[in-house]
Amino acid sequence: MSATTLTLQQFSTVYNMLSFAVASMLGAFAFFVMGRKIVGPKYRLALVVSSLVVLIAGYHYWRIMGSWTAAYALKDGMYVPTGEPFNDAYRYVDWLLTVPLLLTELVLVMKLKKESGSVLAKLILAAIAMIALGYPGEISNPESQAGARLMWGVLSTVPFLYILYVLWVRLGDAIGEHPAKVQVLLKNTRYLILLTWGFYPIVYAMGSYGWLGGAGSVVAVQVGYSIADVTAKALYGVMIFAIAYAKSEADGSLPA
């Protein structure tokens, strides 16, 4: 994204959100590593995958913070672009690694029937297409290439809708097979996925200058993606933990 001058407050809002994201990912990492031991053995791999997701994201947020501070310098009370571009690729590489892992977590904790392997493969392919198609739009110039941003955004939405549809229907089918307590958690997870994943394309749209103007969109995109990532990775991981715990309790596999 092209750089614009930011006020002190705009610069530090993003800086503090990125810092919050680093802290959340690291805290979540510790929680999932320790939490792994208090669920039944069958569900531990799901927790291991959760901890990988937040570890990868914690690293990326750390690098994003570095890139953010390198991209702006304080001059006469304003943050002006230094000429070093802010690197959007960290986010997209992060998604490329973590979205397949998030989908895997879900399949692992659900312990779905045999054909779940091929469903997972299709979901992962669709996720890669979604992210790869969104990237050229994200790095296009939001002023002079607004059309490109829109076109890549629309293309990326096609696999995105496929993913949401498959997850919604699959999870819906599986809910009935679970004990009542687990059913509530699964229903909530279904909404959490819909809400958090649905937030990403909205944030992407805020990145077009037509909506919020230059500095406004730069800030909205960074703050928006950070909130979305903390929710879709850390909070979602806590939901996966809760499902694993409730299922272990129901099938009597909770460790003594």
- Residue numbers at the binding site for ligand RET (CB under 6 A): 95, 98-99, 102, 130-131, 134, 153, 156-157, 160, 197, 200-201, 204, 229, 232-233
Shorter beta-carbon distance to ligand RET: residue 230 or 246: 230
Task: Report the residue number whose CB is nearest to ligand RET.
Answer: 134
In the complex, the smallest distance separating the C-beta of residue 48 from ligand RET, rounded to whole angstroms, is: 16
Shorter beta-carbon distance to ligand RET: residue 71 or 130: 130
In the complex, the smallest distance separating the C-beta of residue 100 from ligand RET, rounded to whole angstroms, is: 10
In the complex, the smallest distance separating the C-beta of residue 21 from ligand RET, rounded to whole angstroms, is: 11
225, 203 contact by CB (below 8 A): yes
Shorter beta-carbon distance to ligand RET: residue 98 or 217: 98
In the complex, the smallest distance separating the C-beta of residue 89 from ligand RET, rounded to whole angstroms, is: 13
Shorter beta-carbon distance to ligand RET: residue 197 or 245: 197
Shorter beta-carbon distance to ligand RET: residue 90 or 95: 95
Shorter beta-carbon distance to ligand RET: residue 14 or 246: 14
- 3-class secondary structure per residue, the chain: CCCCCEEHHHHHHHHHHHHHHHHHHHHHHHHHHHHHHHCCHHHHHHHHHHHHHHHHHHHHHHHHHHHHHHHEEEECCEEEECCCCCCCHHHHHHHHHHHHHHHHHHHHHHCCCCCHHHHHHHHHHHHHHHHHHHHHHHCCCCCCCHHHHHHHHHHHHHHHHHHHHHHHHHHHHHHCCCCHHHHHHHHHHHHHHHHHHHHHHHHHHHCCHHHHCHHHHHHHHHHHHHHHHHHHHHHHHHHHHHHHHHHHHHCCCCCC
In the complex, the smallest distance separating the C-beta of residue 213 from ligand RET, rounded to whole angstroms, is: 20
d(CA 231, CA 213): 26
In the complex, the smallest distance separating the C-beta of residue 13 from ligand RET, rounded to whole angstroms, is: 21
